[in-house]
A and B are shown apart, each in its own frame.
Chain A
Amino acid sequence: MRTFYKISLLFVILVLAVSVAGCRPAASTGPVTIHVLTMDQAGLKPAEIDQIARDFEAANPDIKVVMEYVGYDFLHDKIVTGMAAKPPAYDAAMIDVIWPDEFIKSEYLLDVTSRVTPEMKSGIFPAAWNGVTRGGKVYGMPWLMDVKYFMYNKDILQKAGLNAPPKTWEELADQAKAIKDQGLVEYPITWSWNQKEGVVCDFTVLLFGNGGAFLDDSGKPVFNNEKGVQVLEWMKKTVDDGLTNPSAVSSDEMAVEADFLAGKSAFAVNWLFQYSDSNDPSKSQVVGQVAFAPMPVFAAGAQAGIKGSSVDGSSSFAIMSTSPYADQTWKFLTYLTSHEVQTKFSAEMLPMWQNDFEGDNLAKLQAANPSNPVTIPAFMAQFPYAYERPTVPYYNEASAALQLAIQEALTGIKTPKQALDDAAAKWVQLAGQ
């Protein structure tokens, strides 16, 4: 009896002791430890980023870098939670291109305008700075540029007697119909229209390709004007006509790739990863059959002067505003995103430094990876036309409203006009809060 009581008391003390042991007064001297949060599977593999961190530590013995990895879906949540603590759980974090406005309003990001050197400014593609620049101020370092590409299956098109990929979405629908009628493929087009950010990405591509926009100059939503409604009606029509796979409404980008690489669709809009996967025999049944083409636009958009349209899906690194180690963190970030490091890993991801795409460097870049000779021209051709999604601090909730609207229209719950009008009304309400 006494021993039992003693044991349990001991246990409670043990638990408290262990937890208190976690408390250590912050060391005033000695190496500084910075925590950096990033995404798994964002360009480089965690093992590679770890290697970069080790190299940095070797060159900077007074800075220790602890990298933490999390899946994309929860990156935002971890940043928000991490910033609730003092000091913040992370000194730097990777941010998606749609988050700066929200994070700046929440005062999470450190203004690094004065730290950016002219070489960085001019050396990196101007478009790459879009993800971190607001109101003339810079809030982070770019990392990975990615846009959505239009890919098609050469073999299927050939079998259908089509000798060129479509230039307009209307042409695409015609080609898809031809392919379907010939019985080559049941649903020639596949999209990622499920209730996640992906559907807004696709909608962005189509909307700007029709000469439309999300907001007008005064910040009022205009995606529900006739151009936007036309886009949504076109989307629905392709499903109703059996050209777009009806599973698109529950598909994400992975499902798009699965379809495309199984040879079940002839056209697929997706991020860059889909191309290299298409030549991987353990994943793809269409090795060597995939090609890029410039993203089509709508006939009306072409007439209005729109030459190309895609959506920016880049990621950057930002320093958290309450980090006590801003200088050390900046040092690490500039190393991570430096020309040397990016060039070293150019087999895994395309660098964002312009001179990598010129002269001898270009040849080296092309040799780095068997896909590069194809992906580099595609990248150079497409990214100048990458549009941004609305840069408003309430973007997450606005996007959710738009996702809902598109889904309601596609499932027939509301007409496209009604759905978009309701979403626009919600955006106005959000802007007013």
Chain B
Amino acid sequence: MPDSTGRILWRRFPVLGGVARGIRRGTVFWGIGSFLFFMLYFFHVRRQIDLRFLYHAGNFALPSGTVIDFPIYRYGSEFLKGFLVRPGGLSEYVASGLCQYYYYSYLGPLVVTSVALLMYFLSHCLIRIYGGRGGGVLRFVPPVLLLIACNRYTFVLHNHVALVAALVGSVIYLFVAARTSRALVGFIVFAVTCVIVYCMAGGSYMLLAILCVSFELLTRRRYLLGGLYVLIALLVPLGGAWFFGIAFDDAYVRPSGLFPFDGTLGVTVLWGLYVFFVLAAVAPLIRCATGWLARVSGAFRPSGKLQAACTAAVLVAASVLSALLTVDRDVRRLLKANYLARMERWGELLEDVRRHRSQGYTPSVMLDINRALFETGQLGSRMFSYPQHPSVLFEIGSHAVDYKGGCEVLLRLGRINEAEHAALEAVEINGERPETLRSLAVIYIVKDQVDTARVFLTMLSKDPIAGEWARETLRRLEDDPRMSSDEQIRYLRSVMPLRDMIVTSTRSTESMVGTMNTREMLLLALLVRNRKNRMAFEYLMAHYLLTKQPGKIACSLRRLDDFDYPAVPDHYGEAVLMYAYNVRRQVKPAGSAIRACTRRKVRKVIAIVGDCKGDKDAISKALDAEFPDSYCRYLLTDKSGGSR
């Protein structure tokens, strides 16, 4: 296997040599098998999980109440310092940095696969040191558990980096201890490793303590030394609590990710990983297990090839099952929608949602759907083919996610101050996320507060992904502080309101643009400022549709002339005809005409209502069957999103 250079390397670094020998002693089958396993692992993470969804999720609240809190990373010592003030901070820092690679379709999966490979490698070493023969299929347990955690999208890498740090510390100690009988050397290495690993990995350090203590007690049977190790293991977190100024109970368990145990699969899997390594430390048990396996396999007397095939089959089955069965498809669907919206791939977003429209969507995704409908010119005609709710147009409320999405929509509409409000609230709740900082920079440039914009841009320039954009914008600001040549800035200035008014008053957590009147006023003021603001017009009409004010649609139809609509959009036409029917008055839209098919549809709906004689269930059923995507159905039954 290794050439002469390799041999020299192994000789110089006995750890690597031991590992290489360990791998070499395995058959070629294991080598190829492992390679294939990790190749498939990589492609599964890339294709099925797609870590870009996590990167763009930022701070994403799931319907279950869990919040995906994707870590932030900044270049510079100031950011690092924030992590050094607590045990385990360093592993968090490293994990935060690694997580930024999730932005890239290949590098993110490569990071996760590398962590899995590292765990595979460390479990191999541990099992060997404890007297096993490298663990065979057992080595694949940690990567598979890691994959399950990935599949759940609640994957916080820092817990796993801390675990890896503890394992590396353990392997270093065990390797030294296995090669020396001098207790003093072992003691010094243990004490030093404990302190370093505790600072790096926090509560995860207890795994190191357990592995080392069990090694001394069970394998080496040095009870006095083992007892001393227990004492040190207990004292180190106490020292950490004093040094870092944290609570004593926190010093032992946090931030390992094991507590509080909330029963979710992510935490259970993490527990599984810890339990696996603790079990691995119990060498006699492993030996018994391997002996039992040998006896079992001996009873069957399988040939070498059959044994290898059986093991491979078990491995493949376990991996495939865990890969396929544990993917949280609901979360994936939501995160994918969110990702497509952040990438402004509106057509794909609508297509994806249409495929799963019978599923539930969070308000923030519904907000993105409406944005996608607008961007693709379908808001007035296809809105009720998708799930809708009266407060999902640009609602920003007490919920974290709504602020981010709300900010984007408000900014695009031209409501600069409200977008600023939403973005600053988002910073307070979700932290200094790149997309929010970017929005804030744009907002302050539009408002001609260049000095303020610079603060946000300077902060953003330290972001590994968005930093380039920030640096470029800072350069452009040097040349032209108003950035008048920028198309987006020019557009926003052309639609932003110029006349001040009190938008809303708020007491504590009250929603900002919560009241119907406020939303309507915000949009009308935009149209007063710039009558060609198509988004403001369509959102105003959508607001009327969602809040069931068809009369106001009729009242606003004259504004259609400001835009190049070939005909009155279907939903507006339906609303006008339904209103006219209700008040028994004829309403003539100025300029554009209501399509004949819309008229027929409304006539038929009116006939259905007449036939059903007020029976709401019957009306609902009939409309579900005949006009699942119509506004009439929403108006009469509150239902939207096509047939269910």
- A, B bound: no
Which B residues contact A (CB, under 8 angstroms)? none
**Which A residues are closer than 8 A to B by beta carbons?**
none
